[in-house]
Structure 1
Amino acid sequence: MEAFLISTGVVALAEIGDKTQLLAFLLAARFRKPLPICLGILVATVANHAFAGALGSWITAHVNPLTMRWVLGIGFLAMAIWTLIPDKIDEEVEGGAKLKLGVFGTTVVAFFMAEMGDKTQFATIAMAAQFNAFFAVVAGTTLGMMIANVPAVFLGDKMAGRIPVRLVHAVAALIFALLGVATLIGLGQGLGL
């Protein structure tokens, strides 16, 4: 349960102001069809995060625990810094929204591509490795993505100006930093962390 809750919270916070949330705003404004956009986000996120979670689980099985602790600790600290850097929609991601796949298909392709190499994908890899709980982490990170992006689709520009993005990024960065420090000093080793 802990892996699920932490994964949900970290990704929901990290996703605020992320390029995929900006993409959700863009798709909502362009297509004005929230249900296929939300379903597309769900399908793309499950596919992307399942891949990331599988990679994290594979790493756990093949890397010794001390090395894993250092890699994860430094990785979480790097994600803390990365979270503080504002995102924008890449030209290639925005261009992907011009495909003739319909609203659902365009959303799936655009979101999947936007998540490749994104901080939430790396966070999923790291948390799957940290907790060694593939399903709980993938379910949690997927829920976190939906918590951040579904309101973006339904509320669009009305919500964008009201969220203190810097504050949310600071909180997410703090959580990543705390996870990094806790991992490096070995806190929670007896708890399976």
Structure 2
Amino acid sequence: MRLKAERQRLHMTQGELAAAGGVSKTSQVNYEGGSRAPDAIYLHEVAKAGVDTAFVITGESAQTTSHDIVLIRLLGGQEDDEGHPFHRRWLTAKGLAPQELCIVEVKGSSMEKVLSHGDHVLVNRADRQPQSGFSYALRQGDELLVRYCQVLPGGVLKVSGANADYAAYEVDPRKSSDVEIIGRVVSSTHEW
């Protein structure tokens, strides 16, 4: 039945798919009816015609549909930014809600050795309570920064980069209207 569903999805007749697979129409009818199982050569050939053979064999699709993809937009990006594609299954497995995510572009060299200028990070805006040992996107004045945060006594944050040329500093986000925690960095891309 799954082979028939694939043939119908591709808007092909039994004769057309039989020809693509190098078999007779009778064999195609038998495959679709379940009285015979297709061999590997047939499956290889119909895959070239667009048949999702993983679905035919296992019932699980190997193809990604537009429903499987979520577009996450660049924070502060242009209006015509369509977003960066992420697989919905991956986001779900990580416990991330797409509506709470944004992309931040790394600027400068303060995170060099880990992140480079122009790299992108995926930021979870639902996770804005800093925890030591994680990276966060911060807005400090007019700057959008990606930094490590360490929570010190009294809720003060020690903010640092990966590049030793940039000194760490302390800030109390509760007392400073100049600092806003955008969210925790959950993934990154790095151009080589």
**TM-score, normalising length: structure 2:** 0.21
Largest Rg, 1 or 2: 2
Question: Using CA pairs below 8 Å that are at least 6 residues apart, which structure has the higher relative contact order?
Answer: 1
Q: Which has the higher helix share?
A: 1
**TM-score, normalising length: structure 1:** 0.21
